[in-house]
Structures are given as structure tokens and as C-alpha cells.
Amino acid sequence: MTRTSQIVLLRHAHSIANEKGVLAGRDNSVGLSERGTRQALATVGELESLKISRIVVSPMLRARATIAPFVKKNPGIELIKDGGINEMEYGDWSGKKLSTLAKRPLWASIQQAPTSVTFPYGESFLEMLARSIDSVHRLAKPGKTTLFVSHGDVIKAITSHFLQMHMDNFQRISIDPASITRIAISSGGAQIQLMNSTAHLHEVTDNSARSTLGGGAGSALKKSTGIRR
């Protein structure tokens, strides 16, 4: 029997684009916000407890900056940069305010029937799903734990696939910045062991407002520090 592979899906920490309410897409100049920098540091201990054997990271700066503190403390872990888990190519929608995009006719299809959507001069949700699942199957180490550092919509797509959920329903899943999702994959199927966990961040948050494109900015902080003392 094939050994069970553990995959850990880490969304990049809170970014400058999240802070501004902008759909960053593949803008590789988008780094972490101050909040995101704190989240990246807070994630290190949690990842160390998971005994990661391989790190697969999106090429985007915000993903690489999220994992950088963990890599600095654990330089011996294999690190692979892979385009299969890159951010969705939103085409002409990239760089625009989510509040503006939400008024466009295509927005309703993105929420209700994403499998029908291809972004203008971008890719379709089904294309993104196919490449991200291929990345998982290519790079997850059998019998080991592999960390994939990616983006909100990509992690939602991967999670929906292993839940055997139709892609048109994947907007029901929330994936917050710096959240951890853990899945065990074996020849008999997959088991979701943890989803969208942010307990390691110790943030006081308000869950009342979320965006459903690009993964959203996550829960809003109730206090400016965002850290429970």
C-alpha cells in the first residue's frame, strides 16, 4: 500500500494588496504588510511542530516572504519554487480594487459558477485547479509532510478537490492569510485534518466581512496591535 502523504497548505500572510483591498494577481512587487510580517513570524513555531520534509513555494514575493523566517531557522529543508501553485492569473482584473470588481457582471458567475469563468486575458478556474493539483501530486513526498505555500483561491481549489466538492461550490471555503490547512493523502483517498486554522496567530479578529475572490484579506483586526497579550 502506498504510504500516506501529509500536505500542509499555508496561505501567504497578510499583504499590502490585502491591506488596500486590491486584487494583486501576479504582481510580484506585492510584499507583506506589517500585520503580515508579524503573521509570518508567528507561523514559524507551528510549522516546526509539523516536521516538514519539503517546502514548495509559489514564485510570488508575498509567498516567499511568508516562509522566509521558517527557512532561516530551518535551512536544511529542501525548498522548491513551483509555478503550479502560483497565484491565479486574473488578467485584466489584476491590480484593481475588489470593491470595483464586485460591481461587474462577471462577479456573480465567479461566486455561483466559477467553472464557467475565464478572466479576460487571464486563466480559467479549471486551468488553475488542474495545475495546482498536478503540483501536489508531483511534489508531495510519499510518507512525509510537504508544505505548499500558496494563495487563497489556489488553496481553496486544492481543498475542494480533496473534499470531492464540485468546483462551483468552492467559494464556500474560507482561507485566511497565514492560515494552515492539513490533508492526509493515501491510495484510499484523502482526509482533511485541519482547515483554515489561524490559532497560531493569536489575533483578536472580527469575522463579519470577507471577500470571495483572491482569498480575501481575512478577518479584520479589532485592535490595532492584532496581538492578544
What CATH number should be reported for the domain holding residue 150? 3.40.50.1240
pLDDT value of residue 106: 96
Asked whether residue 189 is domain-assigned, the answer is: yes
Other Cβ atoms less than 10 A from the Cβ of 224: the count is 7
Give the pLDDT confidence of 7-47 residue by residue, as tens digits. Answer: 999 999 999 999 999 999 999 999 999 999 999 999 999 99
pLDDT confidence band for 2 (50 / 70 / 90): low
CA-closest candidate to residue 205, choices 182, 181, 179, 183: 179
Asked whether residue 224 is domain-assigned, the answer is: no
Give the pLDDT confidence of 183-205 residue by residue, as tens digits. Answer: 999 988 999 999 999 999 988 66
Give the pLDDT confidence of 122-138 residue by residue, as tens digits. Answer: 999 999 999 999 999 99
Query: What is the mean pLDDT of the segment spanning 221-229?
Result: 41
Name residue 228's beta-bridge partners: none
Asked whether residue 8 is domain-assigned, the answer is: no
pLDDT confidence band for 213 (50 / 70 / 90): confident
Kindly give the residue spans of alpha helices, DSSP state H, lying in the chain: 16-20, 34-48, 61-73, 98-101, 106-112, 125-139, 152-162
Domain span holding position 91:
14-198
Sort 75 into a burial class: Cβ within 10 Å, 0-12 / 13-18 / 19+: exposed
pLDDT value of residue 208: 52
**0.85 surpassed by pTM:** yes
